Amino acid sequence: MCNDGLTVLSLFDGMSCGAIALREAGIKIKQYFASEIDPQAIRQTQHNFPDSIQLGSVTEVKATDLPPIDLLIGGSPCQGFSFAGKQLNFNDPRSVLFFEYVRILREIQRYNPDVKFMLENVRMLKEHENVISCQLGIFPVMINSALVSAQNRVRLYWTNIRTRTVPHLFGEDVYADIPQPKDKGIFLSDILEKDVDRRFYLSQRQISHLIKLDFENAGSNDDTVSVINGQQYCVAFRGRLNPENGFNEQKPEIRTDGKTNTLTTVRKDNMIISCGYSDEPVRIISGSIDSRKSGVGFRPVMSGKGACVRASASHQSVCMLVQDGKIGLRHLTPTEWCRLQTIPDWYEWVCRESDIYRMLGNGWTVAVISHIFQFLKD
């Protein structure tokens, strides 16, 4: 690593999670070039990192116009690859932008064959993962953000920052050799705010709407009530629980009336309306509100981790609070999303709430990236 710092080129820079991670890893930056077209993301970057040099669209970036690059980073748009999307893969114009990353990497390698690079993307079909690996000349490491945060977020990282070579009959394969981060044992309950504005709570009407969609999706007109430890909870609820074991069991037992685990009772006096917690113990159940594609309703995350945050669904990650026989179902706040993505407190927001959700969903789990960047010091 250069004594006066690294010259970094960040493609698809977003809110500059790469710059955040470099600072958190204690790595000095000489110059930071950012390629981004979202005006709000650019605004965020320039507010927190005013020395960043914005380059605009990745299609207009030419490495020959820049000083020698020491580190190339980026997370090309993943919508075409994601199992949560339509899986258009390289037929999706957003995913084709990956080849812009390859083009720029090749341009840099012509004058700096030892340039370090890191590319992040979602889990995908193996055949498409292999296309990326072939283009970059390295196989990725898979890391789940759950090791360092309260969020389940499995991602692939192609990087030559630390590698290992495996010989075979026809030559050798190169693998990213980043060890798994140490499990910090952080759960959603550890990062929730204690005093949350009432607007984040689902209303009785919203819960009723969820239940209606749930039954339409299931094709049932039953008015069945699930009972957990004798209590009726008023949420549209899909999944299994074991409240006796803290809702974190991998193989929980179901407690229902024997017909269904969809909770359908909606009564105002059974809802938590207050925003803070009292001295009574609160059971916190992590989960998400799913779309029609996978069955409408609240789906618990049995590990106790938060659901993966997504740019296209700012209100999908939710939590259920159970207290003294009452329940509350609420969206996670922007602060809680920041904690899920391990954004440090010093990072300041200057944009609207909806933009915060979107950028965090598109962003990186900073603690994972910082863990990878630590090996730049070797």
Q: Element (H or E) spanning 74, and its range?
A: strand 71-74
- CA 99 to chain CA centroid, Å, is 23
Beta bridge partners of 173: 166
Count CB-CB contacts under 10 A for residue 346.
Answer: 9
- For residue 226, CA distances in Å to 75, 223, 351, 357 come to 43, 10, 42, 33
Amino acid found at 4: D
Reduced DSSP (H G I as helix, E B as strand, rest coil) percent helix, strand, coil of the chain, to 5? 30, 20, 45
Query: What is the C-alpha to C-alpha distance for residues 368 and 157, in angstroms, rounded to an integer?
Result: 10
Query: What is the C-alpha to C-alpha distance for residues 252 and 250, in angstroms, rounded to an integer?
Result: 6
The pair phi, psi for residue 126, each rounded to 5°, is -60, -35
Q: Is residue 2 flagged as an active site residue?
A: no
Q: Element (H or E) spanning 288, and its range?
A: strand 283-290
Q: Using CA of residue 263, residue 266, residue 267, residue 270, what is the dihedral sign?
A: positive
* Cβ burial, residue 75 (10 Å; 0-12/13-18/19+): buried
17, 78, 308, 338: the active-site residue: 78
- Which active-site residues does the annotation give? 78
